[in-house]
Amino acid sequence: MIMWAILSGIEGNLAAYNAVMTDIYRQSRNLEAVYILGDVVGATPESEAVMERIRNPQQGEFEPLVCKGWWEEQCLILYGLGAVGEPTELLVKYGGDTVKALAESVSRDTVQWIRGLDFGFFELDCLLLHGSPLGVEEELTPETPAILMCDRISRMQANNLFCGRSGLTFNYQLQAGSINSTVTTLDIPVSTQTLSVTTLRQIIGVGNVGRIPGKVSYTLYHPTSNKVEFKQLSY
């Protein structure tokens, strides 16, 4: 039974990446692909080493399929290549020291590689990306309203949406039926939106590899059976 390994959030943690790759290849004879859903780099000195490791897989390893994440978008902004001119979100969230550290951790060569990354991947009936179809910054979680989840997965007509922005592992299932959302304002008394779900759809948070030192979480997916497995390990 073929299997995909799906991970996100290495965040410049080389030891964590090595640990997860060892774990994946130790247990996966039927591995077909490795997906990394963004946040490969971070404001750490090891970011370049992580990039080198990913771009030059060891013998017997697949070359991972990598898409752009939030940290990669911040790198592009710092080098004047992003959708906005200033790293305001990075500055507000982490402060000036982190802005400086990120600029010093990622080379121009790596930034050029980041420019070529895809926003996400669509394989079979699966959408794999970092945040949501609206952008790398949107964070889907188990607390996200069902009407919003339904909208995000329906935009690309996928049955399975894999995302990594939250860093959480979760399986949010939308059963067949309809979801109603009603909004009342002063100008328009009632505004109702209805979204229909005809088949089981699920939004999967794939975990985080490098954010918490010593702890890794990632996801295995079996396309033929639609089975999702969450993996955790310490290193």
| Record: fold of 3-234 | Purple Acid Phosphatase; chain A, domain 2 (3.60.21)
Nearest-angstrom CA–CA distance, 183 and 188 = 9
Percent helix, strand and coil across the chain, each to the nearest 5: 30, 30, 40
Q: How far apart are CA 57 and CA 69, in angstroms?
A: 20
Q: Could you tell me the pLDDT band of residue 43, with boundaries at 50, 70 and 90?
A: very high
Segment 178-185 shows an average pLDDT of: 53
Percentage of the chain lying above the pLDDT 70 cut: 90
CB atoms under 10 Å from CB of 132, counted, come to 25
Q: If you average pLDDT over residues 107-123, what whole number do you get? A: 96
Q: What is the mean pLDDT of the chain?
A: 91
State the average pLDDT over residues 52-60: 94
Report d(CA 48, CA 45) in Å as an integer: 7
For residue 67, the surrounding DSSP H or E stretch is none
SS3 62: coil
Tell me, what's the pLDDT at 85? Answer: 79
Rounded Cα distance between 141 and 143, Å, is: 5
Joined together, the tokens standing for residue 29 give 């004879």
Q: What is the mean pLDDT of residues 37-51?
A: 97
Of the ranges 25-39, 79-93, 134-148, 176-190, which one carries the lowest mean pLDDT score? 176-190
* pLDDT (0 to 100) of residue 200: 82
Strand order across the 126-129 sheet: 120-123, 126-129, 160-163, 201-206, 169-174
Provide the whole-model pTM. 0.90
Q: Is the pLDDT of residue 176 over 70?
A: no
Residue 187: exposed, middle, or buried by beta-carbon count in 10 A (0-12, 13-18, 19+)? exposed
Distance CA 21, CA 28 (A): 11
